[in-house]
Structure 1
């Protein structure tokens, strides 16, 4: 499984637009093959920071997700609302059974 984390901090006047775009992106992404979960959250310590958490079945599913034109459009739109750099981290993970 591939785990993706990301975040973006937006300007106060763009928060509602960023939130709307993020929810649209999350809901669309959940329908893609190989998407296990996809969510966006508001950071409790910085209410202008949106945090993304995703789980994908494998690298091929994630690559297909990145190739969807709407995914690229979302990234470009949200970057235009951001106050600084966005983050994106990918992890190759496997579920651990009870320790």
Structure 2
């Protein structure tokens, strides 16, 4: 299997920042428990508190695809247009080093 690495960037509207942070933080524990999740790390931009970043490593693309269908994502997905200042940005990376 080929591991998959992504960086997801989510930018909140200033008025929905705290709500979005709570919804995003709620994804960490259940996502880390999913089969194929190697790591799932949640960050806030040090200079822009409305910008949140996820660094994720998955065992395979099929594991990432399964994650995107998980029911624990629906409270977030169902409100995404109302909460975000811009569309979610997902960068797919190719890991060149060995995974730690």
Q: TM-score range, shorter-chain basis?
A: 0.7 to 0.9
Take 1:72 and 1:88, find their aligned partners in 2: how far apart are those partners?
18
Please give the TM-score of this superposition, normalised by the length of structure 2.
0.82
Match of 2:43 among 37, 41, 44: 41
Q: Structure 1, residues 25-62: CA drift from partner, whole Å, max 9, x if none? A: 12210010010111211101211111111111111211
User: Match of 2:90?
Assistant: 88
Give 3-state SS (helix, strand or coil) of 2:42's partner: strand
Please give the TM-score of this superposition, normalised by the length of structure 1.
0.83
User: Match of 2:14?
Assistant: 12
User: Match of 2:52?
Assistant: 50
Take 1:61 and 1:67, find their aligned partners in 2: how far apart are those partners?
10
Aligned length in residues: 97
